[in-house]
Amino acid sequence: MKNWQLALLLTPLYAQIYWQPLHEAHERSRLQGRLLLIYLYTPWCAPCVMMDQNTWAHPVIATFATANFHCTRLNAESRDSLLFNGSHFPYLTELHANQLAYLLLEGKMEYPALILMEPSGEMLLTIRGYIQPRLMDEILRYFGGGFYRNTSWEEFQKSYPSQL
């Protein structure tokens, strides 16, 4: 039995991802060499609520994400100054968004959004919009398992037997 299978058996039906503060998740990612998962959302966004209820709460996804990524949630409209990579990012009144969210999304402010990042800061993936649990499972396995380094996405999808 694989570790993730054992963890799934021990996980309650409702699981939660261990969401870390942004600066801590980024620092741990760099120190441990694990990918950083950034989830951008807004409190008013209906698809964001659906992601929380259907995708992030799924025990397979929550268990795998917590075990294989440093995960952080970022309210894209946070009025707090956000610390990331040694810099502070303020709220931009004219854009109704935090500067970091604006930069990460390259000005295309669509929610929810998923960003996967190397410990070095290189962005590997940006997806905007609701992600179904099965597709999220495939994405997390592809990147969290390191398959993205030597296997195309198409090859991986053909070979990965998602149970969702």
Strand-pairing partners, residue 57, are none
3-8+15-159: which CATH topology? Glutaredoxin (3.40.30)
Residue range 71-92, pLDDT digits in tens: 999 999 999 999 998 899 999 9
Give 20's DSSP letter: P
User: Could you report the per-residue pLDDT of 12-32, keeping only the tens digit for each?
Assistant: 455 689 999 999 999 999 999
Report the pLDDT value the prediction gives residue 11, as an integer from 0 to 100: 44
| Domain spans of the chain, in order of start | 3-8+15-159
What's this model's pTM, rounded to 2 decimal places?
0.88
pLDDT at 137: 97
Query: Dihedral sign, CA of 28, 30, 35, 40?
Result: positive
In this prediction, residue 12 carries a pLDDT of 47
